[in-house]
Structure 1
Amino acid sequence: MASTQEKLSPQGRIWSRNFTCAMLANFFLSVSHFSVNTLVATYTKHLGADPVLMGFLTGMFFGVALAIRPISGPLMTKVDKRKLMIFISVLGAVVNIGYAMFRNIPAFVFFRFLHGVQYSFVGALIMTVASDALPPDRMATGIGIFGIGSAIGQAVGPTIGDSLERLGTSLFGTEGGFTLVFLFAAVALAVAVIPSVLLRPDARTKEDLQNLGAWYKNIITIYALPTTLVNFFMSVASSLYVSYLLDHGRVNGIDNMNIFFMVTAITLMVSRPFSGYLTDRFGLKKVVIPGMCLIITSFLVVGYSKTLTPILFAAVLSALGTAATTPALQAMCMQSVPPLKRSVASNTLYIGIDLALFTGPLYGSIIYKHTNYSTMFKFGVLPVVLGLVCFIIVLPIYQRRRQELEQAGKELE
């Protein structure tokens, strides 16, 4: 008998109500996230943090999110996802108002902790809502389209954050600049409440909930761990761009570095749906491995560049590589378990991302402390190479798991 979640995915149709609402909410959450996070290192430095503390605070809320996931993961399987979406949007708005009102390191640590609690739900929850609305034969294509929302957020977020910070600084001084960014992020999260309210509530039966088992069985699933390992290394690398690229430009006298994020996002918007389609059409290996090679090249270009033009070329390479790898890895994760366990698989994937986004800024700050930003970006190659090696090892494991699900009659949706 098909599960309730299987019935929520119309055959062959991507643009359902829940998919559209999830994509819109993801956009506003991404705008908020990227407008703030690209300035966290700069803000903590303004508050008086040294380089290592700066790296720790930059990645702190990913570490908090990791610690909270044993609670948030099971909640996503038991509690109506619509209510959780509303909760995380409101909590995020409160956190950013707190950033704006209290301007010292102890207060920043407190609200960074709450931000980590909010983040422990965000990615896994939204990806589960979106994937539940997708047909199985178009999973990679749908996830590729879904990522356009976050790609746009990644484009406009850092640009808006940097522009508002400069505007606020010119009008109200340095602290006024950061305050303006935080208030903007709070408004974006408040707007995210609207599509969250419009989501259809979960329609799971008592039998569905009983089949989920005890809470501790809904924290991680071993079937998503291989894909999570690959994605961990890719996320370590990508965190270097988000956390340190603007500072790299300021230190090396490269103006308008925020255009990197705009170019990245425009390229992602164009390429993600096609890369998802190519993955569904031609298979994982022919898309993911070339994508990882493009990301490796992008780090080398940034590490050796002294002007903006080649760095923008690196943005295109990085975006094409990310478009090729991210939807494919997310689809692998979602398709390694039956539909009712998707939130568990998503939680597993995001535990790896939490570890990576906590480790990545710290990794970069340690390299920077002993060298410089250019060398730090050259070292961004290392985690991508490790991810490539792991993917080659993991792919046969995933393929065997898919065959097992098909033979057992539990193929997704």
Structure 2
Amino acid sequence: MQQDSQQEPLWTKSFLSITVCSFLLFLNLQMLLSSFPAYVQNDLHAGNVAVSLVTSVFALTAIAARFMTAALMKRMSKDYLLMAGLLLAAVTTLLYPVAHTVGSLLIMRIGYGVGFGMASTILPTLVSQLIPARRMGEGIGYFGLSTSLAMSIGPMIGMNMMSGFGFGTLASVGTAVVLLILPILIVSRIVRIKGNARPISMTAAAVSRAADETGFNHKLWLPALLNVMLSITYSGLLSFIVLFGEFAGLKQVGMFFLFNAITIVIIRPISGRLFDRNGPAAVLIPAGLSVAASMLLLSYTHTMSMLIAAALLYGLGFGAIQPTLQAWMLRTSSKEQYGAANSMFYNSTDFGVAVGALLLGAIASMTDYASMYRYSAGVMVLFVILFLIIYASTGTSKLRNNGITE
């Protein structure tokens, strides 16, 4: 296996190119997603339910689009599907300011969900084929930095841009970010305009076919469920932290995402190597407690120092958990099932965001934003308890080497 890792180095041109493209795709998503709550409430004069729908409708549409993409990849060129998804995401982003009612905005969100779902299915499937099996945790850790960094700095950029220049300018910049992906893919020869057959494209198609032939991998359920629970907490930040800032009297609440990004960058590579050596338990238990502590501290926050402390704790936990869960799902799958594993990982993320937006929005309406974040802390306590129950029933050695497929 060591020889295979040397023959297949991690830091290839294709790996770097796909990682940058993934960062830009999720940056577009996060820049706009964090600003929708204020836009919907202030410009469209809607309430918490409408704010929740803007987030959940997109997430549910993206889930459906991933299933559709998996089926289409068997019959159509991956290159065309990826380009179509990116262009659809760009066009709908550009048209957001034209939607002057909640209904028309939801239509735009459905279109964006389809485009984003298509692109976010193909990119991670391609990159997982480039990572040596024994370095999966490390490789996904570095690739996942693209997503985590976008999730950390995107909301801050979006909120500051909307505050300074308005939602229209923010949508235009978001469109440019997506369109920048296209020349990167073409120049790096990840895709070809004419759709010529290439080994990496054939591999992606083979993944989809083989996943259908080998059936569903039931070992994916636990990490997928844990990812749903983590994503519920993140949904509460995306959908309501701006409104919580107004509630708590914090004018620079967007700084949460900046300091969150700092610890994510630090912990991502470390957690990946720790997972490769010791399995998921060594990462998920302390990281889950870190997220729970962050949510609890945030619920009592009324000063900037408390906000920064909560952000650092959240970054440590979130930045360690997310790549560990994705790598765990890939390590318990054969290479032929990587496409299905990646699809389930991202679908569980979007499902958690959708459920979280609706559930936490309802809690906020019945109580307040501080209480809502305390419920989020409770979700992460359940996260740790659930994992510990499975850990105790399965056994240390099985979880340490959980289903590694040679």
| Shorter-chain TM-score above 0.5 | yes
2:171 aligned partner, one-letter code: F
Distance 2:136 2:301 in 1: 38
Per-residue deviation, residues 364-409 of structure 1 (Å, max 9, x unmatched):
1111101111111111012212222333345539975997966xxx
**1:77–1:218: 8 Å Cα contact kept in structure 2?**
no
Structure 2 counterpart of 1:193, from 153, 166, 182: 182
**1:59–1:357: 8 Å Cα contact kept in structure 2?**
yes
SS for the counterpart of 1:379 is helix
Distance 2:117 2:211 in 1: 16
1:379 aligned partner, one-letter code: Y
1:75 aligns with 2:72: yes
Per-residue deviation, residues 165-223 of structure 1 (Å, max 9, x unmatched):
1222xxxxxxxx11111111001001121222224355269899678559966996433
- Shift in alpha-carbon separation, 1:289–1:78, aligned structure 2, 3 A: farther
1:240 aligns with 2:236: yes
- Per the alignment, residue 272 of structure 1 pairs with 268
1:163 aligned partner, one-letter code: N
SS for the counterpart of 1:13 is coil
Distance 1:297 1:343 in 2: 34
Distance 1:329 1:292 in 2: 12
Aligned residues: 394
- Per the alignment, residue 5 of structure 1 pairs with none
Distance 1:94 1:219 in 2: 36
- Shift in alpha-carbon separation, 1:209–1:317, aligned structure 2, 3 A: closer
SS for the counterpart of 1:255 is coil
- Per the alignment, residue 49 of structure 2 pairs with 52
**2:96–2:105: 8 Å Cα contact kept in structure 1?**
yes
- Shift in alpha-carbon separation, 1:315–1:77, aligned structure 2, 3 A: farther
Per-residue deviation, residues 53-110 of structure 1 (Å, max 9, x unmatched):
2212222100112233331233346655444333322211101111033322222111
- Shift in alpha-carbon separation, 1:390–1:127, aligned structure 2, 3 A: farther
Distance 1:108 1:101 in 2: 8
Structure 1 counterpart of 2:116, from 90, 115, 119: 119
1:290 aligned partner, one-letter code: P
Q: Which runs of 5+ in 1 are unaligned?
A: 1-7, 169-176
Q: Tell me how large the CA RMSD over aligned residues is.
A: 2.9
1:385 aligns with 2:381: yes
- Per the alignment, residue 303 of structure 2 pairs with 307
Per-residue deviation, residues 302-323 of structure 1 (Å, max 9, x unmatched):
0011112111111111111112
**1:36–1:158: 8 Å Cα contact kept in structure 2?**
yes
**1:9–1:133: 8 Å Cα contact kept in structure 2?**
no
1:189 aligned partner, one-letter code: V
- Shift in alpha-carbon separation, 1:322–1:328, aligned structure 2, 3 A: same
1:200 aligned partner, one-letter code: I
Distance 2:205 2:154 in 1: 38
Distance 1:207 1:320 in 2: 34
Distance 1:208 1:165 in 2: 38
- Per the alignment, residue 231 of structure 1 pairs with 227
**1:73–1:218: 8 Å Cα contact kept in structure 2?**
no
Distance 2:373 2:396 in 1: 31
SS for the counterpart of 2:180 is helix
Distance 1:10 1:98 in 2: 47
Distance 2:300 2:117 in 1: 36
Question: How do residues 25-44 of structure 1 correspond to structure 2 at under 5 angstroms?
Answer: 25-44=21-40
TM-score by length of 1: 0.87
**1:264–1:319: 8 Å Cα contact kept in structure 2?**
yes
